[in-house]
Amino acid sequence: MSPICLNAIAVSKTYDSGLIFKKYKKVLDGASLEIEEGKTFGLVGPSGSGKTTLGRIMAGLDRPSGGDVLFHGKKIAEMDRTGYSHFRRRVQVVFQDPEGSLNPRKRIETAFDEVLSLVKVPKKVREERTLAIMDAVGLSEDLLCRYPNQLSGGQNQRVVIGRVLLLDPEVIILDEPTSALDISVQAQILNLLKDLQKQRGIGYLLSAQAGEGGKFMAQDVGVMKEGRLVFR
Ligand code: ADP
Ligand code: MG
C-alpha cells in the first residue's frame, strides 16, 4: 500500500432549498475513501448519486456539512492560509465537459499562458513549457492558435488536462472525464491519463457511471448509491 495523499472521512452534504418552507436533501451520507499516492480510486455510481459533490468537496471547491477531508493526514478545515493554498494548488479537478472549462474567446495558447503566469513562470520560458505540455498531452503545436470551438471534444479535454498538469498536481479529481466524448475517443483519453499517472505519480479519483470503464485503471473501487459508498 502506498501512502494516502487525500482522503474523505464520513463526509456528508445536505442541500437546502425553498425560501419559507425549507426542504433538506441529504446528498452525501457518511462517504469515506482514500486516494493513495500515484494510484486510482474508481468511484462508480449512477447519475445523481453524489459523485460530483464528493469530488468537489475533496478538491476544496465546496464545504462538507459533516465529516472531514484530509490532505496528507491534515484536516483541510484546520489548515492555515499557506497550507490551504498549497492543498488547492496540488489537488485539481477535470470535469466532464471540457468546453465548459475553457473560455470560448481565448485561443489555446492563451489558456496555457494564463496558468503559466499564475504560477509565475517567466515569460521567456512560457513558450517552451507550453510546447512541452502540448507534447505531453498528445496535441500538435499548430492547434495553439485555435479557439476551443475549432477543436474536437477529445482535443479540448487534452487541453484541459494539460492546463491542470502545469500546476504540478499530486491528485486529480477526474469527474467523468470521458463521458461527454465519443466512444472512440474515450479510451484514448483514459490511456493518456494512465500514462501521465505512470510518468508523474499522480493520484486519481476517477468517477464514472457504471459500464463506462471506471474500473479500467483503478486499484480500488467504490460504488456510490444515494450518497453512500455501498461497496468497497
Ligand atoms: P452525480 O455526480 O453522481 O451525478 P451529483 O453530486 O451531481 O451526483 O448530485 C447528487 C445530488 O445532489 C443530485 O440529486 C443533485 O440534484 C443534488 N445537487 C447537486 N448540487 C446541488 C446544489 N448545488 N443544490 C441542490 N442540490 C444539488
Ligand atoms: Mg456528476
Name which of 229, 101, 69 is nearest 177 in CA terms.
101
In a domain, 129, yes or no: no
Residue list, CB under 5 A from ion ligand 2: 51-52
Cα-to-centroid distance, 97 and ligand 1 (Å): 16
- Closest atom of ligand 1 to CA, residue 49: 3
What mean pLDDT is reported for the chain?
Answer: 94
For ligand 1, whether the C-beta of 52 sits within 6 Å is yes
For ligand 1, whether the C-beta of 228 sits within 6 Å is no
Residue nearest to atom 13 of ligand 1 (CA): 48
In a domain, 221, yes or no: yes
- Domain at 84, CATH number: 3.40.50.300
From residue 130, alpha-carbon distances to 145, 147, 166 in Å are 12, 16, 9
pLDDT recorded at residue 201: 96
In a domain, 126, yes or no: no
pLDDT at 213 over 60: no
Confidence band for 216, pLDDT divided at 50, 70 and 90: low
Rounded to whole angstroms, how far apart are CA atoms 48 and 27? 8
Burial zone of 183 (CB within 10 Å; 0-12 exposed, 13-18 middle, 19+ buried): exposed
pLDDT one-digit tens code per residue, 12-55: 999 988 888 888 999 999 999 999 999 999 999 999 999 999 99
- Closest atom of ligand 1 to CA, residue 28: 10
Mark out the alpha helices in 76-182 (DSSP H runs).
81-90, 98-101, 108-118, 123-136, 153-165
Are 204 and 35 contacting, i.e. CB atoms less than 8 angstroms apart?
Answer: yes
From residue 87, alpha-carbon distances to 3, 78, 116, 139 in Å are 16, 12, 18, 29
Mark out the alpha helices in 150-229 (DSSP H runs).
153-165, 183-200
Confidence band for 210, pLDDT divided at 50, 70 and 90: confident
In a domain, 152, yes or no: no
pLDDT recorded at residue 22: 84
pLDDT one-digit tens code per residue, 115-171: 999 999 999 999 999 999 999 999 999 999 999 999 999 999 999 999 999 999 999
Tell me if residue 125 falls in helix, strand or coil: helix
pLDDT recorded at residue 211: 62
Mutate-to-test residue for ligand 1 from 44, 52, 174, highest number of ligand atoms within 8 A of CB: 52
C-alpha cell at 156: 479540448
In a domain, 112, yes or no: no
Mutate-to-test residue for ligand 1 from 12, 14, 15, 56, highest number of ligand atoms within 8 A of CB: 15
In a domain, 94, yes or no: yes
Bridge partners, residue 34, by sequence: 7
- Closest atom of ligand 1 to CA, residue 13: 12
In a domain, 62, yes or no: yes
Cα-to-centroid distance, 212 and ligand 2 (Å): 13
Q: Which ligand is nearest to the CA of 46?
A: 1
Domain tally for the chain? 1
In a domain, 84, yes or no: yes
For ligand 1, whether the C-beta of 48 sits within 6 Å is yes
Q: What is the pTM of this model?
A: 0.94
Residue-number span of the structural domain to which 93 is assigned: 4-106+169-231
